[in-house]
Amino acid sequence: MAKATMSIDWEDLGQMYGKYHYGKITEPVRGTIERQTKIILDLLDETDTKATFFILGALAKYRPELVKQIAGRGHEIGLHSQNHDVMFTLTHTQAKEDITTSHKIVTDIIGAPVYGYRAPFFSVKRENLYLLEILADLGLLYDSSIFPMALPRYGIKGFPQKDALYTLPSGKEIVELPMTTALLINKPVPVSGGGYMRLMPAPLIKKVFRNLQAREKDSMIYMHPYEFDSRPIDISSNYPQGEGYSKIKVAALNFRWNIFRPSIVGKLRSLLKQHYFITAREKAEYIKNNTLAVPLK
């Protein structure tokens, strides 16, 4: 039976805009991430689903009580880096520091180990596969950072699409849970992220995941907190007073971030009720215990 996983890249949109436009991560506006996290947790409770939350260390630092709440409601906690950097732009030393810092912050908050990691922007590519060694050295069971196709900003062309256990050059092992793709005219296309979910009509989403189920292909859905929130996003509110883009640029960005967002909760509610969901850790443990390791190439 094919198994689906709901994963949340737990980050704050306002913090991200502060970082990428002003070079620093500040404390998020009080109320936004709290409201969005509640929406997610209530939906998961309603559908009796356990999800995997990949926690950004820079957000956990300011909202440890929310991380505890997520863990306390039975969901898996994983890592989503410390500063949300594009990992292939960092040196090996910088990448290791980023991951180990987030590991300490998150494990200290929940008082328990973590087992998985997802890189920001899925930024594990051929040139920085050494990140998997860093994860294995920390004792992590799995990674879920690779898009198994070439996309403009990320992805690895030709990478296997199935979940698998890999032997690393050091001899250590790690499970890779790649992002889900579907076939369109015999070519893989991304389907399971928040942006794709917003743009696809509900009947098409239903068809895609039924086809994955029929092919006995496991799936990995990835979402972000802001995508669950029906309140309109105003990007200009994330800028310091008197700074920011032109009105036209702000309007274009607001359109991008808001389009079809109110449809997300209903679409996901249907998926969560129709398919069998397990956490990323459960999926990785099954792969670890029931398959043979293959060399990472």
pLDDT for 297 equals 86
Instruction: Please answer whether residues 188 and 161 qualify as being in contact, where contact means their C-beta atoms are separated by less than 8 angstroms.
Output: yes
- Cα separation of 98 and 86, whole Å? 11
CA distances from 184 to 67, 191, 208 (A): 38, 11, 10
Which distant-in-sequence residues (6+ apart) come within 8 Å of 160 by Cβ?
148, 178
pTM flag (> 0.85): yes
The pLDDT tens digits for 19-32 are 887 788 889 989 99
Q: Are 37 and 70 in contact (CB under 8 A)?
A: yes
CA distance 103 to 7: 18
pLDDT, the chain, mean: 93
Model confidence at 246: pLDDT above 90: no
**pLDDT exceeds cutoff 80 at 112:** yes
Closest-CA residue to 183 (of 212, 158, 213): 212
Q: Which of 97, 118, 110 has its CA nearest to residue 54?
A: 118
Q: What is the pLDDT, as a whole number, of residue 247?
A: 81
Question: What is the structure's pLDDT at 243?
Answer: 56
pLDDT value at residue 152: 87
pLDDT at 258 over 90: no
**Residue 235 backbone class (left: φ over 0; alpha: ψ -120 to 50; beta: rest):** alpha
Distance (Å, whole) CA 84 – CA 198: 23
Q: What is the mean pLDDT of residues 26-53?
A: 96
Q: Could you give the 3-state DSSP secondary structure of residue 246?
A: coil
What pLDDT sits at residue 245? 67
Spatial distance between the Cα atoms of 220 and 45, rounded to a whole number of angstroms: 19
User: Do 194 and 228 touch, CB atoms closer than 8 A?
Assistant: no
Q: Provide mean pLDDT across the span 224-249.
A: 76
Closest CA to 256 of 276, 271, 237, 235: 235
The pLDDT of residue 92 is 98
More confident residue, 189 or 8: 8
Contact criterion met (CB below 8 Å) for 67 and 60:
yes
Q: Can you give the pLDDT at residue 40?
A: 98
Confidence of residue 58 (pLDDT cuts 50, 70, 90): very high
Who has greater pLDDT, 59 or 18? 59
Looking at the chain, the whole-number percentage of residues with pLDDT higher than 90 is 75
Mean pLDDT (whole number) for 207-216: 90
**CB distance 161 to 178 below 8 Å:** yes
Residue 241 has pLDDT above 70, yes or no: no
163: phi > 0 → left, psi -120 to 50 → alpha, else beta; which?
beta
Question: Residue 244 has what pLDDT?
Answer: 61
What's the mean pLDDT in 250-276?
A: 91
